[in-house]
Amino acid sequence: MTNTEPQPAVVAIVVRTKDRPDLLRRALASITGQRFAEWECVIVNDGGDASAVDAVVESLPAEYRARVRAIHHQDSRGRWVSANAGVLATSAPLLVLHDDDDSWHPEFLSRAVAYLEAAPERGGVVSRIEILWETREDDGFRVTRREMFQPQLSAPTLSDTLLYNRFVPIAFVYRRQLHEELGLYDDALPVVGDWAFNLKVLARGPLDYLGDEPYAYWHQREGVEGSHGNSVIGSRGDHAKYDALIRDEALRQYVDANGMGLLLYLTKFIDQRFVDVETGIRDEIARASENNLSFGRRVERRIRRRR
């Protein structure tokens, strides 16, 4: 007798969405198109039309429908509340957030799972990311150009990520154990919750890339507003604000533990170096202007002599 029971999921996929059924349909095509089949998927509908989400799920082939379910929030609670709801509603040992407007190469999950099985000491693994710039058309979206994201990096390091986020959720498969150690996403943050979590993960231990090939596709749409806009483009002001607030809180924690002495010295030292650089640039400009003026005068004298 053949056992037809589905295998326990190895990877839990959390999809956050709100009033974008066309993009959700594309995201689910990306998920169901994976060559790795041992996954479960929870869609967290953050206050959008529940019937539209349910219709997209019902349109899936029967073999996938049992592995995809939706959680509906009556009111919008925010992207990181939704992420945590999806994490808590799943049980697989590996996790990944698949934003509803992004997509994967068909081998993304199989390569990530193989890496983590071979490297049990790693908390997760990051794919190289390709940005797909797209424009909206009547029948959907058309990719207009492609570019690699952060191609100069050799690994996703803490030192680099201190400056700004170096990988987005679509590229990061990680162990559920990280939430047990580090807590859930900070749902008080309307944006940059992934960066705040990534900093904790990288402070815990190193991460690596799957390789040089991009298996995660980060879709971007310039000039598109409303429900189909990108949060990273449409919420730049919020990103800057909460970036600053996270840094300020970390600075307070450092001061509480170590005092202000080193920080007072460094801020003055760095400020003076900027002043020195600015003064040097101004001096170079002044010398170049004087040289150009002297050269111009010499040319003018030569012209007069020829006349």
pLDDT digits (tens, 9 = 90+) for 241-264: 999 999 999 999 999 999 999 989
Residue 285 pLDDT level (bands cut at 50, 70, 90): confident
Mean predicted confidence (pLDDT) in 15-34: 97
Mean predicted confidence (pLDDT) in 85-114: 98
Mean predicted confidence (pLDDT) in 51-61: 97
pLDDT for 296 beyond 80: no
Look at the block and give the residue holding tokens 């100069």: 152
* Residue 115: its H or E element: helix 108-118
pLDDT digits (tens, 9 = 90+) for 153-169: 999 999 999 999 999 99
Instruction: Give 214's strand partners.
Output: 128
Q: What does the buried/exposed string (b/e) look like for 69-83 if buried means 16 or more CB atoms within 10 Å of the residue's CB?
A: ebbebeeeebbbbbb
pLDDT for 66 beyond 70: yes
Q: How far apart are CA 77 and CA 67, in angstroms?
A: 25
Q: What 3-state DSSP class applies to 119?
A: coil
Q: What is the mean pLDDT of the chain?
A: 90
Give pLDDT, residue 252: 95
More confident: 106 or 140? 106
More confident: 289 or 176? 176
pLDDT for 301 beyond 80: no
Mean predicted confidence (pLDDT) in 29-37: 97
The closest of 23, 93, 97 to 53, measured between CA atoms, is 23
Q: What does the buried/exposed string (b/e) look like for 267-293 if buried means 16 or more CB atoms within 10 Å of the residue's CB?
A: eeeeeeeeeeeeeeeeeeeeeeeeeee
pLDDT for 145 beyond 60: yes
Give pLDDT, residue 117: 98
pLDDT for 231 beyond 90: no
Angular region, 192: left φ>0, alpha ψ -120 to 50, beta rest? left
Mean predicted confidence (pLDDT) in 35-60: 97
More confident: 185 or 300? 185
Residue 281 pLDDT level (bands cut at 50, 70, 90): confident
Torsion angle defined by CA atoms of residues 82, 84, 88 and 91, in that order, rounded to the nearest 10 degrees: 100
Interaxial angle between packed helices 79-88 and 193-204, expressed in degrees from 0 to 180 and rounded to the nearest 10:
50
Give pLDDT, residue 299: 59
Q: Which of 103-112, 136-145, 146-155 is predicted least confidently?
A: 136-145
pLDDT digits (tens, 9 = 90+) for 211-221: 999 999 999 98
